[in-house]
Amino acid sequence: MKVAISSHDGKLDTRFSSRFGRCDYFVLIDSESRDWEAKRNPAAEARGGAGPRAVQFVSEQGAGATITGRYGPNAFTALDAAGIQAFEADDGTPEQLIEKFLAGELKQVHVPTGPELH
Amino acid sequence: MVIAVASGKGGTGKTTVATSLALALAESGRQVAYLDCDVEAPNAHLFLRPALDNYKQVDLLIPEVDSDVCTGRGVCAEACQFHAIVTLGGKTLVFPELCHGCGSCTLVCPEKAITEIPKSLGHLESGRVNGGMFFAHGVLDIGEPMAVPVISQLKDWQSFPQSTISIVDSPPGASCPVVESLRGADYVLLITEPTPFGLHDLRLAVQLTQELNIPAGVIVNRDGIGDDGVDIYCRESNVPILMRVPFDRELGANLAQGKTLVAVAPEYKQRFTDLYSHIKAILDDSGSRG
């Protein structure tokens, strides 16, 4: 499964970004092959609706799961509609988080957990 | 003539100044229209006590997608500046709270799968103060984030003869609702308090009026508290200080009971009509030069 992790700089070994809609990059990792790539988040500079726009982007990239700090209501609704699983983390780098994800150590969320930001 | 009363910082005395300016001008025989554009917390009616006998609903047109007709190509999502409509795996999803009601999605949909459904944003009310001054305000629905369309419809609701002086009571801040309330104003009165907080937000408000190219002057409320930062800033930035309202605990207590400044301290009637003449002179002067 391809997993999209919010990131400040698109690197594997630096701390992830706890913001979802307006993170600068998504690190996309294949959980089987560990192949990965970083893509700029087109929603980072959105005038509004960054959450849904970011979900549309990771959905187009073929992600089946996302890892970030908190999910606002709009992002969560969009993830739910897109059938993308939402996971939360407090800390970690993308390479650490993918291992935690595979070990089943990350919390999957089923309701929005963060405020609506802009 | 349209005079907008704005501030940047909340709670500096916009409504205190705007209501008393309006009452002083009305009492001096001028035609006055008061528009309370602070639609998130309209409260000028508490001071002016108009007889509100006219009501208008404010709606925004929100897209509704017919999923049987939609082919999920995402043309609508591409058009939407606010990402209020997105296409996910061939399904199109609408986020009504993000929608600004521009109608672009409906226009561009190649399948004509979108119909527009009215969604309530708030309402407008109007009436007369003691049978004289016209009064209107907008009231945003609870939980609704979209203030701009309510303000815009409030301002376009009624038209007035050129001789009418419109007093626009703006929301605090320097964001979209304030921009919308200042649109079309001839002059902006910026109310501040002489504190670092007042100064910080006054700077933003001054920048906004410059961006909008509307002349502005300052009224220092609660004068005597704080520091001289506002004075120094105004001097250095060439923003005139047109009036000072001294800090007075008893005055504050009276305002808190819903009394107006001119009712508590009648000498302000003359001060406010003088203020209006001053503004008019500033505008006439810049007009003759420009």
Quick: pLDDT tens for B105-137: 999 999 999 999 999 999 999 999 999 999 999
Q: Is residue A22 domain-resident?
A: yes
pLDDT band at A50 (very low <50, low <70, confident <90, very high): very high
Cα–Cα distance between B36 and B97 in angstroms, integer?
A: 24
Q: Is A109 left (phi over 0), alpha (psi -120 to 50) or beta?
A: beta
User: What percent of chain A is modeled with pLDDT above 90?
Assistant: 86
Mutate to test the interface with A, among B78, B88, B95, B105 (most CBs of A within 10 A): B88
Instruction: Provide the domain limits for residue A25.
Output: 2-108
Residue A118 within a domain: no
Best mutation target, A74, A77, A80, A117, to test chain B (most B CBs within 10 A): A74
For residue B123, the model assigns a pLDDT of 98
Gap between the Cα atoms of B109 and B107, Å rounded: 6
Residue A117 has pLDDT above 80, yes or no: no
CB-based contact A81 B88, cutoff 8 Å = yes
Cα-Cα-Cα-Cα dihedral sign, residues B133, B184, B279, B207: positive
Nearest to A78 by CA among B60, B98, B191: B98
Domain-located, residue A116: no
For residue B90, is pLDDT > 90?
A: no
Minimal-distance CA residue of chain B relative to A49: B83
Residue A17 falls within a domain, yes or no? Answer: yes
- Whether residue A9 is predicted with pLDDT greater than 80 in this model: the reply is yes
Helix (H), strand (E) counts: chain B:
11, 11
Give the helix, strand, coil percentages of chain B, each rounded to 5.
40, 30, 35
The answer to whether position A83 is within a domain reads: yes
| pLDDT tens-place string over residues A80-115 | 999 999 999 999 999 999 999 999 999 999 988 777
First-to-last alpha carbon distance for chain A, in angstroms, is: 30
Q: Which residue of A has its CA nearest to B74?
A: A56
B95 chain-A contacts, CB cut-off 8 A: 49, 52, 74, 77-78
Domain count, chain A: 1
> Measured between alpha carbons, how far is B145 from A14 in angstroms, rounded to an integer?
36
- Please give the single-letter amino acid code of residue A100: K
DSSP B7: -
Kindly tell me the sign of the dihedral angle through the C-alpha atoms of B80, B152, B64, A53. positive
The sheet that has B165-169: what strands, in order across it?
Answer: B51-65, B114-129, B133-140, B32-36, B165-169, B2-6, B187-192, B216-223, B241-246
CATH of the domain at A36: 3.30.420.130
Judge whether A34 lies within some domain.
Answer: yes
Domains assigned to chain B: 2-58+121-289 (3.40.50.300), 67-112 (3.30.70.20)
Note the pLDDT tens digit of each residue in B241-285. 999 999 999 999 999 999 999 999 999 999 999 999 999 999 998
pLDDT of residue B290: 47
Q: According to the model, what pLDDT value does residue A118 have?
A: 56
Per-residue pLDDT reduced to its tens digit, B147-199 = 999 999 999 999 898 899 999 999 999 999 999 999 999 999 999 999 999 99
Instruction: Look at residue B288 in the predicted model and tell me its pLDDT.
Output: 65
